[in-house]
Amino acid sequence: MRLTTKGRYAVTAVLDLTLNCNDKPVNLGDISERQSISLSYLEQLFAKLRKNNIVKSIRGPGGGYLLNGDPNSINVAQVINAVNETIELSRCDGRANCHDGRQCLTHNLWIDLSGRINDFLSNISLGELIEQNKDQPHLAKGHQIDSLIDIRTN
């Protein structure tokens, strides 16, 4: 199962923010440059992340974004859900109308798998992701960290 671009970018950007804040706000332009994510796309994602209390914004010179809490108290599923992303594997988005308006034979299988994936991601905090992979060279500040997500979710 692969996350969509929206979910992957949100997790990647929040991890970058966590790694690079040093108790100072991080500018979205810096995240955009380090992670090769469009600035306008990051602005859209961070508006949703802010609205859902994952990050907080600091205005003015030297402003940017900070994580809104301890990295150990924010899990990957919260980040994904904050950007209105769901991990739903059924063709019917859980409505049970996937086969000519009726539930298909494998509906419950896909619903159960979606729930297990959500449970899995709910049990991985941002702090845990960083701690478990702190010795990996791709975690050096200023580098792309998308492979960190791949290491933990594969």
pLDDT of residue 9: 95
Convert the pLDDT of each residue in 35-57 to its tens digit: 999 999 999 999 999 999 999 99
Positions of E strands within the chain: 55-58, 64-67
Q: Where are the domains of the chain?
A: 5-87+125-148
pLDDT of residue 86: 75
Using CA atoms, how far apart are residues 28 and 37, in angstroms rounded to an integer?
Answer: 10
What DSSP line would sit under 87-117, residue for residue?
A: ---STTTTSS-TBTTB--TTHHHHHHHHHHH
Q: Specify the residue for token string 């200023």.
A: 142
Task: Tell how strand 64-67 and strand 55-58 pair up.
Answer: antiparallel
The reply to whether CATH 1.10.3720.10 applies to domain 5-87+125-148 is no
Say if pTM beats, i.e. exceeds, 0.85.
no
- When pLDDT is averaged across residues 65-92 and rounded to a whole number, the result is 89
If pLDDT is split at 50, 70 and 90, which confidence band does 141 have? low
